[in-house]
Amino acid sequence: QFLGFLATRVPKTELHLHIEGTLEPELAFQLAKKHDLHGLLSKYQYSVERIQESYQFEDLQSFLDLYYDFMQVLQDSEDFFRLTLTYLERARSQNICHVEIFFDGPFHVKRGIALSTVIDGIRAALEYGETHWRFTWRLIMCLQRELSPTDALQCVRELAPFRPWLHGIGLDGAEFPNPPDRFSAAFELARSMGLRCVAHAGEEGPPEYIRMALDSLQVERIDHGVQVTKDPTLLELLRATQIPLTVCPLSNLRLHVVDSLSEHPLRQLLDDGLCVTLNSDDPAYFGGYLNENFTVMIRENGLRCAHVAALLQNSFVASFLDTDECQRYL
Ligand code: ADE
Ligand code: ZN
């Protein structure tokens, strides 16, 4: 209990958070009303509770179907601003001091929302957080694995005007049947633009996808990566290289990647000496923000003081903060 108290009160970073995954049912409802989305509202009987009840999933794909459906409530810069500021208020209350935020740029463009609308709104909120609450931040655009390799490449080409506010490129969406090596050209271009590279891999998909993300995409961090436990050679590689994994236990539980949090590999990965961080992924959908992930894993995964200390330290080590900025916190 004391450990939980401590973990929730000390400064930390969040490195794996989809801003669209912070859409709480109340905000979804308000924005749906604002934009007169009666199709969506009637599907949930004009009730926030019905929306809340729909947040139940069988696997990654069933989650993505709902998550993409609710994105229709995000239409103008003000919506993205509100969404992001609401998350930052929550992050601040949880003593998160640095955030690296994912957004699904290509998906928004596909549904007719300009990239400038998305980025302007998110950025305005991040700048507000920086000025008023002293947040540091990085913005990472994820390519959706549902994209064709050609479309993904084109998306990266179109990033040039936004380069000053973007720090990196990521890869998310349906893991099957879309292995990471489909996107090697897009990541190569992103790297040549000076963008840092991360990718979701080994969430549901096999350890082989983690290897591909490392070899073909040359990513610096793996998002999730929990399937590494099935491949001892890869586990040893990740230990030796200290390539970070951004692990999200409540997400893994809700998407049935694990049957229970007591069986979650987090503690074992820490004991094996991997650079693991704790994160919330899509907290509005998975029943908890970062502090809830800490408290539940201390309780159910048997984390001890040394595990929690490693997670907190790794949250800075694995971040894209430069050394000077890290000094401010460590
Ligand atoms: N998009 C949002 N959350 C995701 C996750 N956990 N895996 C893949 N794509 C996602
Ligand atoms: Zn994710």
51 lies in some domain:
no
The confidence score (pLDDT) of residue 328 equals 81
224 lies in some domain:
yes
C-beta 25 within 6 A of ligand 1: no
C-beta 249 within 6 A of ligand 1: no
d(CA 7, CA 298): 9
Ligand nearest to the CA of 171: 1
The confidence score (pLDDT) of residue 65 equals 98
The confidence score (pLDDT) of residue 1 equals 80
30 lies in some domain:
no
177 lies in some domain:
yes
Task: Indicate the number of domains in the chain.
Answer: 1
C-beta 172 within 6 A of ligand 1: yes
Closest atom of ligand 1 to CA, residue 142: 1
Residue 124: partners with Cβ closer than 8 Å, 6 or more residues away: 77, 81
Ligand nearest to the CA of 250: 1
C-beta 279 within 6 A of ligand 1: no
186 lies in some domain:
yes
C-beta 223 within 6 A of ligand 1: no
Going through the chain in order, the beta strands assigned E by DSSP cover 12-18, 96-103, 136-144, 168-172, 196-201, 221-224, 245-247, 276-278
40 lies in some domain:
no
Closest atom of ligand 1 to CA, residue 144: 9
The confidence score (pLDDT) of residue 83 equals 99
293 lies in some domain:
yes
Other C-beta atoms closer than 10 Å to the C-beta of 189 total: 18
- Compute, in angstroms, the gap from residue 104 CA to the centroid of ligand 1: 10
157 lies in some domain:
yes
List the residue whose alpha carbon is closest to atom 6 of ligand 1.
281
Q: What is the set of active-site residues?
A: 203
- Compute, in angstroms, the gap from residue 16 CA to the centroid of ligand 2: 6
Pocket test for ligand 1, best of 200, 210, 248 (most atoms within 8 A of CB): 200
The confidence score (pLDDT) of residue 327 equals 82
Q: CATH code at 254?
A: 3.20.20.140
Cis peptide before 177 (omega within 30 of 0): yes
The confidence score (pLDDT) of residue 36 equals 98
Enumerate the β-bridge partners of residue 137. 99
C-beta 21 within 6 A of ligand 1: yes
d(CA 54, CA 197): 33
Pocket test for ligand 1, best of 101, 103, 172, 203 (most atoms within 8 A of CB): 172
pLDDT tens for the 330 residues of the chain, in order: 899 999 999 999 999 999 999 999 999 999 999 999 999 999 999 999 999 999 999 999 999 999 999 999 999 999 999 999 999 999 999 999 999 999 999 999 999 999 999 999 999 999 999 999 999 999 999 999 999 999 999 999 999 999 999 999 999 999 999 999 999 999 999 999 999 999 999 999 999 999 999 999 999 999 999 999 999 999 999 999 999 999 999 999 999 999 999 999 999 999 999 999 999 999 999 999 999 999 999 999 999 999 999 999 999 999 999 988 888 887
Range of the domain at 305: 2-23+61-329
List the residue whose alpha carbon is closest to atom 2 of ligand 1.
18
Ligand nearest to the CA of 285: 1
